Structure 1
Amino acid sequence: MEFREATASDTEVLRSMARESVKASYASFLDEETIDDALAQWYGGDATRDLVESEDSVVLLAVDDGRPVGFSQSEIVGDRETAGHIHWLHVRPDERGAGLGSRLLTRTREALLDEGAEGVRGFVLAGNEDGNRFYDEHGFERAGTRSIRIGDETHTENVYVESDVADAEWRAIEARELADGTTAYVSYGEAARGSQAPFYAAYESTDEDERYGWFCGNCDTLDNAMDSMGRIACNVCGNKRKATRWDASYL
């Protein structure tokens, strides 16, 4: 089994495997139209090529006897705390059950640490029983949850960290006073990759019950706009976040 970094020449292979993997794992609780729309959003057009060529992304391809059999999609985020976020572990349906997912997770973790990550997190929909069990069986513990949009619905996504740090405060909240005198609480552990610097989730209180908006890590402002597809654009410095993935999980 060979594990290597994916390149632009692997774009079609990655897109094909993602489609097989997602359809096999989510057809039981997501309708076909939602899955097709999400795949088109995250892997359609130039999205896959951009992902492979991004400096912050780590895309690891597994090849067995010349045949691609799976890949992982991760990213390095944060500036105060550098973390490796594992968004997807895709395994071809006919290759599951033989330990490939475990090997892919292990090699992905090593790659993220080599890239400077201080810790590794995995994300999985609460409804994905296999994905949650996978992280639990591989030394991860659920550290929290967050809400994500899939189509017109809101779903809960579980956040997993390795068990030796699972009891630590993974969000690292900091109070930031705004120009109008109000205070927002920025969660530096809840980051989203931007074109110039990460965006961080900001809340109205330390309870993190009410989202205030997104804090731009490039110019330290909350003056930005977010559309229904998860795209964020900072109105001050132009920092941008592309349309967000709709799920991140072991598949």
Structure 2
Amino acid sequence: MELREPTSDETERIREMVESSMTMSYRLSPQQIESILTDQFSDDHLSKVIDSDNAIVFVAENEIDGVETAVAGIVVGVVSDDVGEIRWLLVDPEHQGAGVGTELFESAVEALRDRDVDHVEAATLEKNTEGEQFFEKFDYVRTEERTVELGDESLVEYVYTEPSAASDETDAAGTDAANTDTDELEFPDTETEDGVRRATTDDGQTVYLGTDDEEDKESGTDAPFFVTYTDEEMSERYGYYCSNCGSLDVIVDDMERMECSECGNSHASRSREAYDDSYL
């Protein structure tokens, strides 16, 4: 395997490799992949990144049955405000499992540290089904969940931070607010009667919070969300309660992402698919 900087005349091959990688390893629609390719991997954009003084770009050449294949993987990192961030790490499906991703990642981290950054972070889309396991293999901690605009698509992205710089308040799973024990929450604007916690909607309706069942609890960037019900037996769902501010005005989209309209606390549904340890 050989790692090197790419040339501007390799942008078409890079784009083909990225499309194959995302098709195989990301839960994205063809339209979403095309939007990302147009926004981040067009000839013009890639050429600017390759020539940028604030970016590091490496491609890997690997072999299959002794035959050398150009651009089996790519890593893109940037330096911003004394932080080195790995923005993209993708490997051709035919070369996954050969250590290409690991070699690219470690080389990118080393190159970013040579730029005297304070610490290194790595970002990946929530739709990357194997991303979390890969970064946690290096003890990186998920410290942020944010929404990014890639072309016409608005997607959730996870940020992982090297352990020496990760916040002490963020647990090993990167879900500090998500894992707050229910007993430790204050539950603003609620009251408890006969062991059942309830809240009141703006129009005076009483709703009941499902706080006893973990399946009724969803992670949040600031505090968990809880399913609410219209009846005390909790058989008819009403919506969600934000335990950060006490609001019942929680918006849920068709991708199961949710956001509190009052305080901005948000949740993005994680993949429940099994991770494949052979990835990268």
Whether TM-score is above 0.5 comes out as: yes
**Letter of the structure 2 residue corresponding to residue 92 of structure 1:** D
- Aligned counterparts of 1:14 and 1:151: Cα–Cα separation in 2: 18
Q: Spell out, residue by residue over 1:109-136, the C-alpha distance to the aligned partner (whole angstroms, 9 max, x if none).
A: 0111112322110112234230111111
Q: Spell out, residue by residue over 1:11-53, the C-alpha distance to the aligned partner (whole angstroms, 9 max, x if none).
A: 2222222222122222xx3211121122122212411111111
Q: Which has the higher contact order (CA 8 A, sep 6+)?
A: 1
2:119 maps to 1:116? no
Q: Spell out, residue by residue over 1:136-182, the C-alpha distance to the aligned partner (whole angstroms, 9 max, x if none).
A: 11220011211223566643321100112212699xxxxxxxxxxxx
The count of aligned residue pairs is: 170
- Correspondence for 1:31: 29
- Correspondence for 1:83: 83
Asked if 1 retains the 8 angstrom alpha-carbon contact of 2:35 and 2:153, the reply is: no
- Aligned counterparts of 1:58 and 1:168: Cα–Cα separation in 2: 29
Asked if 1 retains the 8 angstrom alpha-carbon contact of 2:40 and 2:150, the reply is: no
- Aligned counterparts of 1:72 and 1:20: Cα–Cα separation in 2: 15
**Letter of the structure 1 residue corresponding to residue 41 of structure 2:** Y
Q: Secondary structure at the match of 2:90?
A: strand
- Correspondence for 1:13: 13
Which of 43, 46, 62 matches 2:44? Answer: 46
2:60 maps to 1:62? yes
- Correspondence for 1:74: 77
Structure 1 residue runs of 4+, over 4 Å off?
Answer: 150-154
**Letter of the structure 2 residue corresponding to residue 32 of structure 1:** P
- Aligned counterparts of 1:4 and 1:153: Cα–Cα separation in 2: 31
Q: Secondary structure at the match of 2:117?
A: coil
2:148 maps to 1:148? yes
What percentage of residue pairs aligned between the two structures are identical?
A: 31
- Aligned counterparts of 1:13 and 1:45: Cα–Cα separation in 2: 10
Asked if 1 retains the 8 angstrom alpha-carbon contact of 2:61 and 2:72, the reply is: yes
Say if 1:129 and 1:23 are closer, same or farther in 2 by CA, change over 3 A.
closer
Q: Secondary structure at the match of 1:167?
A: coil
Asked if 2 retains the 8 angstrom alpha-carbon contact of 1:15 and 1:48, the reply is: no
Q: Secondary structure at the match of 1:52?
A: helix
Q: Spell out, residue by residue over 1:200-237, the C-alpha distance to the aligned partner (whole angstroms, 9 max, x if none).
A: xxxxxxxx949xxxxxxxxxxxxxxxxxxxxxxxxxxx
Unaligned runs of 5+ in 1: 171-207, 211-249
Q: Secondary structure at the match of 1:105?
A: helix
Q: Secondary structure at the match of 1:109?
A: helix
Unaligned runs of 5+ in 2: 171-262, 266-278
Q: Larger Cα Rg: Structure 1 or Structure 2?
A: 2
Asked if 2 retains the 8 angstrom alpha-carbon contact of 1:14 and 1:48, the reply is: no
- Correspondence for 2:225: none
TM-score (norm. length: structure 2): 0.55
Q: CA RMSD in A?
A: 2.6
